[in-house]
Amino acid sequence: MADTATLQFTVDDYKSSEKPTWCPGCGDFGVLNALYHAMREKNYNPKDVVLVSGIGCSSRLPFFVATYGFHGVHGRAMPIATGVKVARPDLHVLVLGGDGDAFAIGGGHFMHAARRNLNVTYVIMDNQTYGLTKGQASPTAQRGYVHKAAPKGTLEEPVNPLLLAMACGASFVARGFSGQPKDLAQLILAGIEHQGLAIIDTYSPCPTFNKVNTFKTYREEVAPLPPDHDPTNFEAALKIAASPMPRYLGVIYRREGPSYEQLLEQRKTGTEADLPQLLDSLFDRFS
């Protein structure tokens, strides 16, 4: 039997027998393709990878990958990923979901995940709409966005995922576009290699319900980061994140620092050999 350390995996090794069930033209196909290539670049053994998702069209993604996967409930992907990563820090954990899952019902978890700096990569497929429930406006939809639940247009201001992530203390904040899967694969790769929580907000158009934020629209609006942008400069990153146009793609902000798992490891005392003595003392104390 071959030594797993010498195995070379191909893109096909990461594909499950389930075929993607998204609508034709959905941006999530590009995200899935980018994820395949990022894992191949890392030569991850599929058995060492866990994909966690919530609810929504994009959250179906773990079904289409030949790794371990957990399809959770709406907005609860980060608590599940936290449990997996803390219990098994040796596993490579990625979180996949949509903008509704991340910023609406999962908004509270998003904030605490950002400040906790768990060592996982969170790819958010942002299409400004709830595709699974037939097209209502998500938290990132622009004011005036017309949909079935608001035929005169939504009234709320949109959430800016990049500013939100940075304000909550995220240590790696990036923006990608599913229409540029090769570049997105490199962003996912950079997120995986970052020691801490990597948040990658990804424009992933919904061709069925969102006729405003299309592939054509994004291709006209996105731009690479200025060549002199310093992602370690927090103030400069804030300005880039707040820029309405163009929509800059790339690593907006990055800082080094201990991950949650590293801090947990530093907190540990004793060894497994001390466990019987500890249990005996607890039994004596409470018996």
What pLDDT band is residue 134 in, cutting at 50, 70 and 90? confident
pLDDT band at 1 (very low <50, low <70, confident <90, very high): very low
Please determine, for residue 3, whether its predicted confidence score (pLDDT) is greater than 50: no
Work out the average pLDDT over 240-267.
Answer: 92
DSSP letter assigned to residue 135? S
- With contact defined as beta carbons under 8 Å apart, do 241 and 253 qualify? yes
Q: Which residues contact 259 (CB under 8 A, 6 or more apart)?
A: 117, 118, 119, 195, 196, 197
pLDDT at residue number 280? 78
For the chain, the average pLDDT equals 91
pLDDT of residue 273: 60
Closest to 254 in 3D by CA, of 275, 279, 225: 225
CA 109 to chain centre: 13
pLDDT tens digits along 151-184: 888 899 999 999 999 999 999 999 999 999 999 9
End-to-end CA distance of the chain: 52
Half-sphere exposure (Cβ direction) of 254: Cα atoms closer than 13 Å: 17
Residue 274 has pLDDT above 80, yes or no: no
Per-residue pLDDT tens over the stretch 60-112: 999 999 999 999 888 899 999 999 999 999 999 999 999 999 999 888 899 99
Q: Where are the alpha helices (DSSP H) in 104-244?
A: 107-116, 161-167, 181-193, 215-221, 234-242
Amino acid letter, 172: F
* Burial class, 44, CB count within 10 angstroms (exposed 0-12 / middle 13-18 / buried 19+): middle
Which pLDDT value is given to residue 277? 75
pLDDT, tens digit (0-9, with 9 covering 90-100), for 195-222: 999 999 999 999 999 999 999 999 999 9
What is residue 2's predicted lDDT score, i.e. its pLDDT? 42
Give all domains of the chain, ordered by start, each with its CATH number: 4-260 (3.40.50.970)
Residue 171, number of CB atoms within 10 A of its CB: 23
Beta-strand relationship, 129-130 and 136-137: antiparallel
pLDDT band at 271; cut points 50, 70, 90: low
Residue of 29 and 152 predicted with greater confidence: 29
Q: Which of 173, 172, 215 is nearest to 29 (CA)?
A: 215
pLDDT at site 269: 66
